[in-house]
Each structure stands twice: as structure tokens, then as C-alpha cells.
């Protein structure tokens, strides 16, 4: 059973601090990893993708991948109240299906 | 440019009824995926279609079926509705069904309530 696991939270972070979100996956054949953001009552939207070990930065967001540890993380710097949402980790399996975690609810406190 | 569209936005049905949900992908996208999402969980994969062929099927009963039309729009059908089918049904489109399938664009969803 291919799985993606995330801490459901909520994760509460003060405004301006760094939010750190984590995800582990079970399928060692996975090569592509994604972070989606979902606001309450809305549909998911893609915010980051990462394909190689190491860090990938895009503005205030940094995705980190460690394939040996089967671990993906998302860092949000200078957290803003508008970052409050559920963050979904998704992994593209070896048969090209997206496997989703349950999501981590992030709350940024002003 | 229009994004992914879904209809209807909300639907109320009773147990045993049948429902059809519709989705139009982003122009140029040939792959459509359907997901079911219940509160507090991530999307659960139901079907994926690419070029009118089924490319993947999740762990859902045969009451769920889908198809893709020549214009790449898609329908999801659910027969003999159960209370447990109440959920947000999401449609997502992507350019490819293989290595590009991770970058999916979602429609606003259809909220189905079964009474």
C-alpha cells in the first residue's frame, strides 16, 4: 500500500516566523513530489514541485527532498496570516498516480 | 484563460438515486482526474482519463464510473447513492498522464450531499 503521511496539526506559528511542514512517503520508486495549498472551502492549488534531492526555493517557499530518508518538507519564511490553510503533500507514484497525504492545517497567528 | 470548470457546484440527492458530475479541463489539457474529498482528509483518487482512455482507477466500487469525451471534457457517474458518498468531488486536469501528472489544476468542485 503506497502511502503519504503528514501530521494533521493544527500547526500554529506566529506571524513573521518560519513554518515547517513535513511529509514521509513509502514508495521508493517515486520521483516527483508536490506541495498543494488548500484554503477552507476551496480546491487545492499547486505551490511547489521538487524532483531532485536538496532544496528548491521559490519566493518565501522552500521545498526540501531527501529520497534516502523518503522525506519531503516545505518551509514558509516570514509567515503571513494569508498562509493559513491546509498544506497537502502529494507524491507521483511509479504508475503515475498522485498519492495524497491527509494534509497539515497551518494557522498563522498575528 | 478559463480554468477547470465543474458543474453543478452543489447537489442534494437521496439514497439510491443516481448523479452525474461534469468537468471541462483547461484548454490544451488532455488528462482529467476525479477525486473524492471528505472533510479532514486529502483527495482520494477515483479515476484518470487521457485521450478518452481510462489510465487509472482508485479503490472505489463499481457504482462509480466515468468517461471522457472527444473534446476532453469528462463525466463522473455514481449509481445507487449511499450516505457515505457525501463529499466534495474534485476534477483536475493536467497536460500529460505520465511524468507531468503531478502538476494538476483543480476545478472548484461539486459538493454532493446524500440524504
pLDDT digits (tens, 9 = 90+) for B37-84: 998 899 999 999 999 999 999 999 999 999 999 999 999 999 999 999
d(CA A12, CA A21): 11
pLDDT in tens, A40-67: 999 999 999 999 999 999 999 999 999 9
Nearest CA-CA distance, residue A81 and chain B, Å: 21
pLDDT tens figures, B14-41: 999 999 999 999 999 999 999 999 988 9
Q: Are A45 and B103 an interchain contact pair (Cβ–Cβ within 8 Å)?
A: no
CA Rg value for chain A: 13
CA distance A15 to chain B (A): 24
The pLDDT assigned to B98 comes to 79
Using alpha carbons, select from B97, B93, B92, B84 the residue that is nearest to residue B41.
B84
What is the C-alpha end-to-end distance of chain B, expressed in Å?
37
| Cβ pairs A/B, distance under 8 A | 58
**Cβ contacts of A94 within 8 Å, gap of 6 or more:** A27, A29, A30
Measure the CA–CA gap between B76 and B90, rounded to whole angstroms: 10
A103 to chain B, minimum CA–CA distance in Å? 6
Option in A4, A43, A92 nearest B101 (CB):
A92
All residues of chain A having their beta carbon less than 8 Å from the beta carbon of residue B58 are 97
Per-residue pLDDT tens for B82-105?
A: 999 999 999 999 988 777 778 999
Q: Walk along chain A (110 residues) and give the pLDDT tens digit of each residue.
A: 679 999 988 999 999 999 999 999 999 989 899 999 999 999 999 999 999 999 999 999 999 999 999 999 999 999 999 999 999 999 998 888 889 999 999 999 99
A32 closest CB neighbour out of B99, B106, B107:
B99
Amino acid at each position: 500500500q503506497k502511502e503519504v503521511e503528514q501530521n494533521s496539526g493544527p500547526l500554529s506559528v506566529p506571524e513573521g516566523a518560519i513554518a515547517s511542514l513535513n511529509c514521509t512517503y513509502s514508495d521508493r520508486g517515486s520521483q516527483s513530489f508536490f506541495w498543494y495549498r488548500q484554503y477552507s472551502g476551496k480546491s487545492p492549488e499547486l505551490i511547489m514541485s521538487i524532483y531532485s534531492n536538496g532544496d528548491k526555493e521559490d519566493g518565501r517557499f522552500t521545498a526540501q527532498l531527501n529520497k534516502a530518508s523518503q522525506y519531503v518538507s516545505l518551509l514558509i519564511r516570514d509567515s503571513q496570516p494569508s498562509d493559513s490553510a491546509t498544506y497537502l503533500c502529494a507524491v507521483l507514484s511509479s504508475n503515475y498516480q498522485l498519492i495524497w497525504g491527509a494534509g497539515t492545517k497551518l494557522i498563522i497567528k498575528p | 484563460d478559463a480554468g477547470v470548470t465543474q458543474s453543478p457546484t452543489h447537489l442534494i440527492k437521496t439514497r439510491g438515486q443516481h448523479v452525474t458530475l461534469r468537468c471541462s479541463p483547461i484548454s490544451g489539457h488532455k488528462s482529467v482526474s476525479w477525486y473524492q474529498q471528505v472533510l479532514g482528509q486529502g483527495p482520494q483518487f477515483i479515476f484518470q482519463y487521457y485521450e478518452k482512455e481510462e489510465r487509472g482507477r482508485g479503490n472505489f466500487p463499481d457504482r462509480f464510473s466515468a468517461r471522457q469525451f472527444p473534446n476532453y471534457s469528462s463525466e463522473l457517474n455514481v449509481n445507487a447513492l449511499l450516505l457515505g458518498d457525501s463529499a466534495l468531488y474534485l476534477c483536475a486536469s493536467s497536460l500529460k498522464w505520465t511524468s507531468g501528472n503531478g502538476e494538476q489544476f483543480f476545478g472548484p468542485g461539486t459538493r454532493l450531499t446524500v440524504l
